Amino acid sequence: MTLQLGDVVPDFTAETTKGAISFHDWIEGSWAVLFSHPKNFTPVCTTELGDVARLKPEFDRRSVKVIGLSVDELAAHGDWENDIEETQGQRVNFPLIADSDRKVASLYGMIHPNASDTMTVRSVFVIGPDKKLKLSLTYPASTGRNFDEILRTIDSLQLTAKHSVATPSNWQQGGDVIIVPSLSNEAAREKFPAGWKELKPYLRVVPQPKG
């Protein structure tokens, strides 16, 4: 299955290290990040899970739930979490799905046969409270993800969902933003009464809206 931006993500039930879940019910009312790992007891995955555990307060502050997935049995997840705590100095503090039958991996297109016909690639799915896919990323098994960058993209997604703006290249929280081209100048004056800097008619720059 190929998920596209704006699609309602597939629902599923699964066993996790925090108990059984129904995914849509688990998301209910929140943003969510689902990210997959090729296999338990692999080095890059171990560093990533430790990093997400460290950053969990930042996800919480944005009302974002995080959940990992590995195609191993639930019984193996506990031993792996012990290794993560020992080597990374962080106890895993979010659910980790046991997907040994690869049901979820298949639903979300996490297995790319040209890379491996058994292990998932490093997939990231950012999902809105409406259960629609807002962003997806795919990394090869050999390359660890930058979760600070994923937080940055969530900041952009949450901001642009509330206001008629887009974020420019390398935007960071608090930086200037761009009024979307679909908003006329007349409508923009109502939303941005302090005005904007017009670099081109299609490139109108304003300070980041508050709230």
| 152 contacts: CB under 8 Å, gap ≥ 6 | 171, 172, 173
Sign, CA torsion 73/151/23/143:
negative
Residue 70 gets the label, from left (phi > 0), alpha (psi -120 to 50) or beta, of beta
Q: How far is CA 35 from the centre of its chain?
A: 7
Closest CA to 32 of 173, 166, 162, 150: 150
Catalytic-labelled residue, pool 32, 34, 45, 151: 45
Active site residue 45: yes
Catalytic residues: 45
